[in-house]
Structure 1
Amino acid sequence: MITRRSTLIAGAALLATPALAQTFPDRPVRLVVAYPPGGNVDFSARLLAPAMSHALGQQVVVDNRAGAGGIVGTEAVARARPDGHTILITGTAPVSIFPVAMERLPYDPLRDFTPIGMTYRVPIVLMVAKDITARTLVEFVARSKATPGGMSAGTAGIGSGAHLAIELFNAGSGANLVHVPYRGTGPALNDLIAGNIPVVFDQLSSALQLHADGRARILGIASAARSRLLPEVETLREAGIVQPELSTTLGMLAPAGTPAPVVEKLRSAMEAALSEGMARERLMSLGAEIPAPAQMTSAHYGAVIREELEIYRRAVQLGNVKLD
Structure 2
Amino acid sequence: MTMSRRQALAGLSLAALPLATLPRSAQAAGYPDRTIRVVVPFAPGGNADLVARILCQRMGERLGQTMVVDNRAGAGGSVGAEVVARAAPDGYTLLIGSNGPLTVNVLLQANLAYDPLTAFRPIGIANRATHVLVVGPARPPLTQPQTMAEFLARAKADPGGMGVGTPGAGSAAHLTLELFNVAAGIQTNHIPYRSGGALVPDLIAGNVPAAMVELSSVLSLHRDGKAKILAVAANTRASQLPDVPTFAEAGVPNFLAASYVGLLAPAGIPADVEARLASAFAAALTDDLLKTRVDESGGVVVTGPDTTPDGFATFLREELGRARRAAELAGLKPE
Is TM > 0.5 for Structure 1 vs Structure 2?
yes
The CA distance in 2 between the partners of 1:157 and 1:206, in whole Å, is: 14
The Cα shift of 1:149 comes to 4.6
Residue 133 of structure 1: CA displacement? Answer: 5.1
User: 224, 236, 241: which is aligned to 1:225?
Assistant: 236
Give the TM-score, by structure 1 length.
0.91
Structure 2 counterpart of 1:236, which letter? Answer: F
**Whole-Å separation in 1 of the counterparts to 2:305 and 2:207:** 45
Aligned to 2:126, which of 115, 119, 124? 119
When normalised by structure 2's length, the TM-score is 0.89
Report the counterpart of residue 99 of structure 1 in structure 2: 106
- Name the amino acid aligned to 2:149: V
In structure 2, distance between residues paired with 1:66 and 1:251: 17
Deviations 1:200-258, CA, capped at 9 Å, x for gaps: 11111111100000000000111121112112212123345375321111111100000
Contact 2:306/2:315, CA 8 A, preserved across alignment: no
Deviation track 1:239-292 (CA, whole Å, cap 9, x = no partner) reads 453753211111111000001211121122222222111122211232222222
Give the conservation status (yes or no) of the 8 Å contact 2:126–2:301. yes
Gaps of 5+ in 1: 1-7
Change (3 A) 1:38 1:195: same
Distance, in Å, in 1 between the alignment partners of 2:246 and 2:21 is: 53
CA distance in 2, matches of 1:235, 1:13: 53
Amino acid at match of 2:288: G
Q: What corresponds to 2:66 in structure 1?
A: 59
1:244 aligns with 2:286: no
Q: Indicate the RMSD between aligned Cα atoms, in angstroms.
A: 2.0
CA distance in 2 between partners of 1:246 and 1:322 (Å):
21
Q: Deviations over 1:38-60 (max 9, x none)?
A: 22211211222211111111111
Distance 2:325 2:333 in 1: 13
The alpha-carbon distance between structure 1 residues 316 and 293, as it changes in their structure 2 partners (threshold 3 A), is closer
**What is the CA distance between 1:113 and its match in structure 2?**
0.7
Aligned counterparts of 1:49 and 1:235: Cα–Cα separation in 2: 33
Task: Tell me by how many angstroms 1:148 deviates.
Answer: 6.9
Q: 2:195 matched to which residue of 1? A: 184
Q: Which amino acid aligns with 1:18?
A: A
- Does residue 120 of structure 2 align to residue 110 of structure 1? no
The answer on 1:44 being equivalent to 2:55 is: no
SS in 2 for 1:312: helix
Residues 133-172 of structure 1 aligned to structure 2 (within 5 Å): 134-147=145-158, 149-172=160-183
Superposed CA offset, 1:180-214 (max 9, x none): 11111011010011111110111111111000000
> Amino acid of the residue matched to residue 109 of structure 1?
P
State the alpha-carbon separation in 2 of the partners of residues 27 and 243 from structure 1. Answer: 46
Structure 1 residues 107 and 35: alpha-carbon distance in aligned structure 2, compared to 1, 3 A threshold: same
Taking the aligned partners of 2:226 and 2:334, their CA distance within structure 1 comes to 33
| Count of equivalent residues | 315
Q: Is the 8 A contact 2:96 2:261 kept in 1?
A: yes
CA spacing shift, 1:248–1:229, aligned 2, 3 Å: same
Cross-structure match for 2:32 = 25
Match of 1:12 among 5, 18, 21: 21
Residue 84 (structure 1) aligns with: 91
CA distance in 1: counterparts of 2:254 and 2:333, whole angstroms: 22
Displacement after TM superposition at 1:320 (Å): 0.4
Q: Which runs of 5+ in 2 are unaligned?
A: 1-16
Report sequence identity in percent.
44
Aligned partner of 2:316 among 288, 298, 305: 305
Q: Report the equivalent of 1:207.
A: 218
Moved more, 217-226 or 238-247: 238-247
Residue range with higher mean Cα deviation, 303-312 or 240-249? 240-249
Give secondary structure in 1 for the equivalent of 2:230: strand
Q: Which has the larger radius of gyration?
A: 2
Q: Is the CA contact (8 Å cut-off) linking 2:183 and 2:255 kept in structure 1?
A: no
- Do the aligned residues in 1 keep the contact of 2:135 with 2:144 (CA within 8 Å)? no
Query: For residues 34 and 243 of structure 1, what CA distance do their matches in structure 2 show?
Result: 32
Is structure 2 residue 221 aligned with structure 1 residue 195? no
Contact 2:131 2:212 in 1 (8 A): yes
Indicate the SS of the match to 1:275: coil
For 1:246 and 1:306, locate their aligned partners in 2 and report how far apart those are by CA, in whole Å: 15
1:176–1:78 distance in 2 versus 1, CA, 3 Å: same
